[in-house]
Amino acid sequence: MASRTVDFLIVGGGVAAESCARALREEGAEGSILVVGREPDAAYDRPALSKAYLRGEHGRDDALLRPASWWGENDVELLLRTSVMKLDPGERVAKLSNKEEVGFDKALIATGANVRRLRVDGADLEGIHYLRTFGNSDAIREDAAEAERVVMIGGSYIGTEVAASLTAEGKQCAIVMLEDVTLERQFGEQVGGFFQGVLEQHGIEIHGDDELERFEGADGRVQRVVTKRGRELDCDLVVVGAGVMPDAMLAKQAGLDLGERGGVLCSSGLETSAPGIYAAGDMCEYDSVIHGAALRIEHFVVAEEHGRTAALNMLGRDVAHEEVPYFFSDLADWVSMEYVGPGAGEPVVRGSLDDGEFTAFYVHDGRVSAALTVGRSDDLDAARRFIKGEASPDRSALADLDTDLASL
């Protein structure tokens, strides 16, 4: 028996949850809103954990997405350090870790993702870190204060961003990764190579086409990374960025349909297989009307936009999620990248990689499917239109700086 009932139950305390609660109020919801989040902090800027927050340039309060007073002012109840343990879509009741049973009319599941942990010899040594929460970033920063040599496992966003941040803090960093070139899986060899060049110019050692074999240490603390190719890299600190897995546990337990990408299967309006229950953010696998395929995306702005679309539909607006997924990343203050997509294909470069100012349009079957830009953010609006199929410029027009993309 539910001890109380709310109009809107939002599970997960991250950006998707915060955005949904905010949009509900902005769009005129008058009913009760309860946000239940497992972490001790209200929604915060998770991307900062590998960037300004890790470097100590931002404090916790700077990283909060809303000031502490916002929740009360907007009549949104926030239960922190609390998990939703069970969700019954039929009875419309949630069981919380504080033993409360809460009935709901509409619900959003936005439980995010968990880091992929490596199971190799030495994985339990101290000084080996993963990065997802404030607490993880604090622990890395604390350990880094005493460290000289840091090894990153993984050459994707977390590995490259943390390597850049800690190098900017004076540490000697190395990256070990499966790929030949950093960020190659996302952007291809040519563009990934540009970012690798930036990292190497700042003294970061990059060991591609290799794999972690084991960690070695003494007195319970990591001292060395040993790779499958036989490299032995001395270190005082390791940060693993080996990807994340959507946290679909609650949804699975509730009997919701899951997708092929491990997320919770949703309609184009982000409704799960249970009517009136929506999903958003890293664990949402939705039917993208733009791409004509199921997508699951692990990006901050996407989670924020999902939260908004879900809120509109919780209010009965019946809209599809039609945003082109957008992503940003910074390597210290050396270089910033922005991306819209996701897509594949051959890159057509507008501008110059040598000058560090370019947009790579990824063209597949004669159509722009994605674009990555460094220093040319203005190209992204055109890229979004191209991805939506509103125009299909040829390769020469894309590459020609004299062609006004807005006119195409």
Ligand X SMILES: Cc1cc2nc3c(=O)[nH]c(=O)nc-3n(C[C@H](O)[C@H](O)[C@H](O)COP(=O)(O)OP(=O)(O)OC[C@H]3O[C@@H](n4cnc5c(N)ncnc54)[C@H](O)[C@@H]3O)c2cc1C
User: Tokens standing for 281?
Assistant: 């953010």
DSSP three-state, residue 370: strand
The beta strand positions in 116-220, using DSSP E, are 128-130, 149-153, 172-176, 205-207, 212-218
| 111 or 309: CB nearest ligand X | 111
Q: Which of 47, 122, 325, 342 binds ligand X (CB under 6 A)?
A: 47
- Closer by beta carbon to ligand X, 36 or else 76: 36
Q: Which is nearer to ligand X, 135 or 389 (CB)?
A: 135
- x-marked contacts with ligand X along 115-144 as a string, rule CB under 6 A: ----------------xx------------
Q: Which stretch binds ligand X (CB under 6 A): 45-53, 148-156, 183-191, 353-361?
A: 45-53
Q: What x-and-dash track marks residues 238-267 binding ligand X by CB under 6 A? A: ---------x--x-----------------
250 or 387, CB closer to ligand X? 250
Contact 303, 110 (CB under 8 A): yes
DSSP letter for each residue of 254-295: TT--B-TTSSEEE-TT-B-SSTTEEE-GGGEEEEETTTTEEE
> CB of 362: closest distance to ligand X in angstroms?
18
Among the residue ranges 43-51, 164-172, 203-211, 343-351, the one whose residues contact ligand X (CB under 6 A)? 43-51
- Identity of residue 189: E
22 lies in the site for ligand X, by CB under 6 A: no
The residues, ordered by sequence, that sit 6+ positions from 70 with a Cβ below 8 Å of its Cβ are 76
Q: Given candidates 50, 160, 167, 186, which one binds ligand X under the rule CB under 6 A?
A: 50
Q: Residue 128: beta bridge partners?
A: 238
Quote the crossing angle between the two packed helices 157-168 and 184-201, to the nearest 10°: 10
CB 22 within 8 A of CB 74: yes
| Omega before 342 within 30 of 0, i.e. cis | yes
Smaller CB separation from ligand X, 210 or 282:
282
Query: What is the nearest approach in angstroms of ligand X to the Cβ of residue 38?
Result: 4
Rounded CA separation 149/354 (Å) = 30
Residue 46 sits in the site that holds ligand X (CB under 6 A): yes
**Shortest distance, position 111 Cβ to ligand X, whole Å:** 4
79, 36 contact by CB (below 8 A): yes
In this complex, which beta carbon is closest to ligand X, that of residue 17 or of residue 176? 17
Q: Quick one: the chain helix, strand, coil %, rounded to 5?
A: 25, 35, 40
CB of 167 to ligand X, least distance (A): 16
**Whole-number minimum distance, CB 232 to ligand X, in Å?**
28
- Return the range that interacts with ligand X (CB under 6 A); candidates 8-16, 178-186, 222-230, 315-323: 8-16
Q: Which of 50, 298, 56, 301 is nearest to 161 (CA)?
A: 50
Residue with smaller CB distance to ligand X, 122 or 327: 327
Q: How far is the CB of 195 from ligand X (least distance, A)?
A: 13
Binder of ligand X out of 281, 325, 343, 347 (CB under 6 A): 281
Q: Report angle CA 236, 239, 241 to the nearest 5 degrees.
A: 160
Please tell me the distance from the alpha carbon of residue 143 to that of residue 169, in angstroms, as a whole number: 13
Dihedral angle sign, alpha carbons of residues 45, 49, 50, 55: positive
Residue from 6, 10, 15, 152 that binds ligand X (CB under 6 A)?
15
Residues with Cβ within 8 Å of residue 9, at least 6 apart in sequence: 34, 36, 84, 94, 102, 104, 106, 107, 108
For residue 270, state whether it binds ligand X (rule: CB under 6 A): no
Q: CA–CA separation, 17 vs 261, rounded Å?
A: 21
Looking at residues 309 to 338 of the shown chain, list those that interact with ligand X (rule: CB under 6 A): 327-329
Q: Which is nearer to ligand X, 83 or 196 (CB)?
A: 83
- Give how many residues touch ligand X by CB under 6 A: 37
Stretch that binds ligand X, among 107-115, 119-127, 347-355, 391-399 (CB under 6 A): 107-115
Stretch that binds ligand X, among 6-14, 211-219, 370-378, 385-393 (CB under 6 A): 6-14
Q: Which residues sit at the interface with ligand X, rule CB under 6 A?
A: 11-17, 36-39, 46-47, 49-50, 83-84, 110-113, 131-132, 157-158, 247, 250, 281-282, 298-301, 303, 327-329
